[in-house]
A and B are shown apart, each in its own frame.
With several copies, the nearest count.
Chain A
Amino acid sequence: MTDDTTSEFASDITRRLEAIMMILDEPHSLVSLAAAVGAPVPAVRQAIESLVADYDGMTGGPKRGFELREVGGGWRLYVREEFDDLVSDFVGTQAPSRLSQAALETLAVIAYKQPVTRGQVAAIRAVNVDSVVRTLLSRGLITEVFTDPDTGAIHYGTTDALLVNLGINSLDELPHISPLLDDGADGFAGESIR
């Protein structure tokens, strides 16, 4: 901190961010937040970092009952995990129906192989996946990315909502699976698998 003005400016951004966070109902990216508070992205990134530490009780204050989380490519306020049961009891939320094993496997294949057609997914899972794909679409976990102009085959990919539902920030945070999967649906050719 070079002087008082700098730190006052930083603190001002932080307070503005807190105000905006109050009304967000989905994660917003750094760029979008920077536009909202009228500050450059690096300053906003710094302000977010300071808020995260602040709410986590790392800066001398208490550990708050809420936290700032980065999910699905953006930032958003959440109830801190240890109070989830308390809040669930209060609001009386019902657990949404869980996905079947078939749906989970299909979702995994689409997540790692996107953009991918239903036919390619079916080939990997060795079963028809039409109804499972429909379920995933209506849950907003996957979406149609594009349609091949020649074959008319729809290519599917995952949505930001999936990232939010998984509690991760980008596809890079998916667990690493065997490198043999990296070379795509059509090519194990020649490669000897060890």
Chain B
Amino acid sequence: MAPSPEPSSATEAALDSSAGADGGFRVTLDVFDGPFDLLLTLITKRELDITEVSLSEVTNEFIAHVRALGPEHDLDESSQFLVVAATLLDMKVAGLLPQGELVDAESVALLEARDLLFARLLQYRAFKEVSAWFGRSLVREDTRHARTVRLDAKYRDAVPELVWTLSPQDFAALAMLAFAPKEIPHVGLDHLHAPLVSIREQAAVVVTMLRSSGSLNFRELIAGVDQPGIVVARFLSVLELYRHAALSFEQVEPLGELTLRWTAERWSDENLATLGADYDR
């Protein structure tokens, strides 16, 4: 993993063409140039091989697109992208794995997994598309007027007399019942997860270690840690610190040693308080 600090040429290209004809997100790739939605359509129709699509390029372009639109931009589109990007990534993993003859159960399972991912993507798109019909129909019916008029007194008299059996105390008890907050019942899943690890706490550890020694490799940074969650949190905090330009790193070859260097000119512990806020949800 070697994120390049300077913007790639693909990012710049996307900035130019980020607004499609419909104002939506547009991608420019070697194999494809057009609105993001169309990219998905092509992939789901298998006219474009998912292995040809560089997810990192699409992601770069999208981030550039969102930046260009500014912070007040529609959260919907951003979150939609996350759903789709996750699916693309899944598809890509399935797509990159070798596809042999259907000889063993593993391959069959793999194909099924791949189809499942296509199905999920298609399903999500189908519901998204049909939701437009719901929107249109609801708006149209909102403007319709059904006859609703109060019942004339002479007909009201035909209504059987109300049988009332509640005492004021019963009535108050009923009110208590009605006012009791109605939480939608929720099945807790907390017990299924490992204890939470705080990125902020781990970042504090990383900052302390790096500031005292100036330079460390990642292996040293996680020496003695046996919980995978802490390793992941330390790695994420390294990425976050990199985003804050508090450190730099070097990796000579892919999967090679990762050397980290403390480069922050100004650093206060206040920076830690907001670190990794993206992970809070």
Contact = CB atoms under 8 A, between A and B. Distances in A.
B171 A166 contact: yes
A58 interface: no
A101 B170 CA distance: 12
Interface string A67-89: 00000000011110100110111
Contact of B145 (A84, A95, A118): A84
A102 B137 CA distance: 16
A1 interface: no
A23 B120 CA distance: 47
Interface string B133-161: 11101111111111111111011111111
A66 B152 CA distance: 14
A31 interface: no
Interface stretch (B34-42, B173-181, B241-249): B173-181
A154 B185 contact: yes
Contacts of A118: 184
Max chain B Cβ within 10 angstroms of own Cβ: one of A92, A107, A125, A192:
A107
A109 B179 contact: yes
B130 A175 contact: yes
Interface stretch (A3-11, A48-56, A179-187): A179-187
A175 B158 contact: no
Contacts of A76: 146-147
Contact of A95 (B127, B142, B154): B142
Given A108-B178, A177-B179, 16 more contacts: A79-B145, A79-B147, A87-B158, A95-B160, A101-B135, A105-B175, A108-B175, A109-B178, A112-B130, A124-B123, A165-B142, A167-B168, A174-B171, A177-B127, A178-B126, A188-B179
Interface of B: 76, 79, 82-83, 86, 111-112, 115-116, 118-120, 122-124, 126-135, 137-152, 154-169, 171-172, 174-182, 184-187
Interface of A: 21-25, 66, 76-79, 81, 84-85, 87-89, 91-92, 95-99, 101-102, 104-109, 111-112, 118, 124-127, 130, 133-134, 138-139, 151-154, 164-168, 173-178, 180-181, 184-185, 188-193
